Amino acid sequence: MNLFEFCYGLMHWLVDILNNIWYWLGDFLPWKFGDFFIAIGDLAKAHGTIAVAAILLEVLIIFIIALVSVLNFIWLDRKFMGRIFDFYGPYYVGYRIGGWLQNLADGMKLFVKEVITPSKADKAGFLLAPVVFVASSVLALSTIPLSPDFGVAVNRAGDFVPAGALFAFAAFAIAPFSILVAGWSSNNKYTIIGGMRSAAQMMSYEIPLLLTVASVCLMAGSFSFVDIVAAQSNIWFAIPLALGFIVFLVCIVAEVEIQPFDLPEAEAELVEGWTTEYSGMRFGLFMMTSYLRSYVAGALVTALFLGGWHGFDFIPGPIWFLIKAYIVFIVLTWMRWSLPRIRVDQILQFGWTRLMPLAMLNLLIAAAFKTLGWF
Amino acid sequence: MAEMWINMGPQHPMTHGLWNLKVKVDGETVVDAEPEVGYLHRGVEKICEDRTYPQIIPIADRLCYGSSLTWSHLYCMTVEDLMDLKVPPRAEHIRVVAIEMQRIASHLMWLAAYAVDLGMMAGFLYAMRDREIFIDLLQALSGSRITYNYPRIGGVAHDLPPNFQRDALRACDYMDKKLKEYEDLYDGSTVFLMRNQGVGILRREDAMNLGVTGPTMRGSGIAYDLRKDHPYSVYPDMDFEVASHPDCDCYARYRVRMVEMRESARIIRQALAKMPQGKWRTIAPRTAPEGTGIGRVEDPRGEGMMYVVGDGTDKPYRLKIRSPIFVSVSAAPKMLIGYKVADVVAIMGTLDMCIGETDR
């Protein structure tokens, strides 16, 4: 049974109960008004409605997994950072579970803080930017299945969004736009420089990133995550496409904007970059979503290069997937806390003169493998 | 994008302290810069005119939070010059040990701040951790961590505490090991080199003409160090190299400071080995004669100078303080123009700003 069937069954059962109550209520009404009631009940009972509700439930489940993962990630990040920096990391809040509750405490603190909108800000853009940022990241996340049975499927056969990899990267690439909007609408010089940097940075990493994805899709012969992972059942793509793996790792770090590529929010030079004017839970959303994006990055690396849910049989597939994504995240954290920040002209130069040819070379290698018939 | 002025400061992560750097940017490129200091002006020179000579020592400590000991030492040297006092050799050696420790602690604080400027958090915590060792030693010596109030007119306040020599030698050995680690962390990182090499060029002539001193000047290839060129205290007896680097960029200034830390450890070892027995303090007269006294030291940030005028009473008539950073920061536009916004942080970071002494 896949996740869709489970959600569909749950929704069907729920709709049945509600419909019974609905029809029972309708019986009390005189005249022809009861027919209208029945029409609504029939609409709710229709296959399409339940399917849409089931997909929403699936997204919710994946989102909850992601949120718990984000709490874990923040904790892991701080613990690992502490070990790198020679201190303990969070310790006292949730003493018996290694300071895990510190994140919740910090979240509560952000939650009760005042949410300020600058008086000269562009209100619409200022409010819309966090929404777009969070929504696009969750959208990217929801296209990545944790196993063939566990993901946001769109029908009872368990099919995922066609061309899932393309869709995921399309959704993932919306964020720089929302960063630019946030930077522009905050009406602050630091935020506008941060937003512009985000746009400039996107020019440098997006093309090599998509070229490496193209090489993976070429090897697998499909844009669907399930097919891509299935093609890695013998050997992970990280081994034949080692070059592409490294290029992808660098580009994905630039995509999620953590050090050494966190130019849009370079806190030493731009105060807090594009999030300078955001306060309270709006800032908290940005921060949480940046960790969510790190998780998505880990999931993408896992699905495209590290064999996804393939592993030894005694652990179920989704758990394998999460383990790999966590390990990738830790590697990203390692980079993040031990490297200085790169400069904006350097990342452009680096992206166009180094990553781009390497990504092209990688695409040629993938084509060669495919032509030789090894994959 | 049109050109615009950005205020980097007074509250900005780049400014270690309270000052303002106005930067005119064209997109990401700096086209003009204007440093603005004075936010922390406390009128130290004027306050000093109303205090007796010993009372000024703690005030001199407050001139710089990064290296307070050099300033109280400088003040004591100046007043000793005014009073024609002879300091016992043991006191001189203790002073040299203490100010070289202060130099290491100050440079480590700079290294920490510089790492954060470049976005490398690991460097910050490592350098701050190792600074703590020297701070602890200075605490054992003087009783406090930041503002030591340790030198006295005609000596130092206390003798060395028990086991100080052993601990100091251990700290020096530890420091030599850690310097290797820093070099692996900083020089080993390509990103760090990319951010530093060829950034913030201050040419040799400009450095001379603008009166820049200290590591900034030595980073421009001029091996000028007061400890060698105008020796004071017992520095003539010490064997050490003056660090200088011909590259004139941020990397050169970074290298100069790293070498200076190693040389400081060398000086500490020698001073401890040559430490004579005897008195560590002479009793200074309460009043100073009419006349002037002058003192110059090699502060971790450059050349610090004090000039005191005595009028025969127990209070100075005038005390003039020459701050190295006040001069260096005026050279900022020369270094900044033409580079990117991100380089502003790196360039101003290598100046090692200390606002206490700049604004006085």
Residue with tokens 């054992």: B140
Please provide residue B15's backbone torsions phi and psi, each rounded to the nearest 5 degrees: -85, 110
Residues of B in contact with A81 (CB under 8 A): 121
- The chain A residue lying nearest B124, using CA atoms, is A85
Q: How far apart are CA A160 and CA A152, in angstroms?
A: 7
The whole-number pLDDT of residue A29 equals: 67
Residues of B in contact with A187 (CB under 8 A): none
Provide DSSP, B193-256: HHHHTTSS---HHHHHHTT--THHHHTTT----HHHHS--TTGGG---PPP--TT-SHHHHHHH
A318: its two tokens: 């989704």
For residue B99, pLDDT over 70 is answered with yes
Q: Is A239 exposed, middle or buried (0-12, 13-18, 19+ CB in 10 A)?
A: exposed
Percent of chain B with pLDDT strictly greater than 70: 100
Mutate to test the interface with A, among B3, B20, B25, B28 (most CBs of A within 10 A): B28
> Is B195–A260 a contact, with Cβ atoms under 8 angstroms apart?
no
Domain ranges of chain A: 123-372
- HSE of A84 in the Cβ direction (CA atoms, 13 Å)? 21
> Is A343–B116 a contact, with Cβ atoms under 8 angstroms apart?
no
Count the residues in chain B.
360
In Å, how far is B132's CA from the nearest CA of chain A? 13
In Å, how far is A269's CA from the nearest CA of chain B? 6
Chain A residues with CB under 8 Å of a chain B CB are: 81, 84-87, 189-190, 193, 196-197, 259-260, 262-263, 266-271, 337-346
- The chain B residue lying nearest A87, using CA atoms, is B125
The whole-number pLDDT of residue A32 equals: 59
> Is B195–A344 a contact, with Cβ atoms under 8 angstroms apart?
no
Please provide residue B22's backbone torsions phi and psi, each rounded to the nearest 5 degrees: -85, 125
Residues of A in contact with B129 (CB under 8 A): 86
CATH number where B278 lies: 1.10.645.10
- Identify the band that residue B85 occupies on the pLDDT scale cut at 50, 70 and 90: confident
The whole-number pLDDT of residue A156 equals: 66
pLDDT tens for B47-66 read: 888 889 888 899 888 888 88
In Å, how far is A336's CA from the nearest CA of chain B? 8
- The chain A residue lying nearest B118, using CA atoms, is A340
Q: How far apart are CA B331 and CA B340, in angstroms?
A: 17
> Is A339–B120 a contact, with Cβ atoms under 8 angstroms apart?
yes
Q: Is A35 exposed, middle or buried (0-12, 13-18, 19+ CB in 10 A)?
A: exposed
- The chain A residue lying nearest B115, using CA atoms, is A340
Q: What is the pTM of this model?
A: 0.85
In Å, how far is A177's CA from the nearest CA of chain B? 18
For A25-39, B6-20, B79-93, which range has the lowest pLDDT when averaged over its residues?
A25-39
Per-residue pLDDT of chain A (375 residues; tens, 9 = 90+): 677 777 788 888 888 888 888 777 777 766 656 667 777 777 777 777 777 888 888 888 878 887 888 888 888 888 888 888 888 888 888 888 888 888 888 888 888 988 888 888 888 888 888 888 888 888 888 888 887 777 776 666 667 777 778 888 888 888 888 888 888 888 888 888 888 888 888 888 888 988 898 888 888 888 888 888 888 888 888 888 888 889 998 888 888 888 888 887 777 777 877 888 888 888 888 888 888 888 888 888 988 888 878 777 787 878 888 888 888 888 888 888 888 888 888 888 888 888 889 988 998 988 888 888 776
Closest to A326 in 3D by CA, of A5, A71, A8: A71
The whole-number pLDDT of residue B12 equals: 82
- The chain B residue lying nearest A339, using CA atoms, is B120
Its ipTM equals: 0.78
Mutate to test the interface with A, among B20, B121, B199 (most CBs of A within 10 A): B121
The whole-number pLDDT of residue B227 equals: 87
The whole-number pLDDT of residue A89 equals: 83
- Identify the band that residue B352 occupies on the pLDDT scale cut at 50, 70 and 90: confident
Percent of chain B with pLDDT strictly greater than 90: 4
**Spatial CB neighbours of B150, under 8 Å, sequence gap ≥ 6:** B69, B72, B98, B138, B141, B142, B156, B157, B158
The whole-number pLDDT of residue A158 equals: 64
The whole-number pLDDT of residue A33 equals: 63
- The chain A residue lying nearest B129, using CA atoms, is A86
Taking CA B19 as the corner, what is the angle to CA B17 and CA B20, rounded to the nearest 5 degrees? Answer: 140
- Dihedral (C-alpha) B257, B260, B262, B267: value to the nearest 10 degrees? -160
B209: its two tokens: 């003409």
The whole-number pLDDT of residue A34 equals: 62
pLDDT tens for B255-298 read: 899 999 888 998 999 988 988 888 888 888 888 888 898 988 88
Collapse the DSSP code of B287 into the 3-class scheme (helix H, G, I; strand E, B; otherwise coil) and give the result: coil
Q: Which domain holds residue B39?
A: 3-359
Domain tally, chain B: 1
The whole-number pLDDT of residue A155 equals: 67
CB atoms within 10 A of CB A62: 21
The whole-number pLDDT of residue A149 equals: 74
In Å, how far is A236's CA from the nearest CA of chain B? 30
In Å, how far is A297's CA from the nearest CA of chain B? 22
Helices (H), chain A: 3-27, 33-45, 47-85, 102-112, 123-142, 164-172, 175-185, 189-220, 225-230, 242-256, 280-305, 317-338, 344-350, 356-372
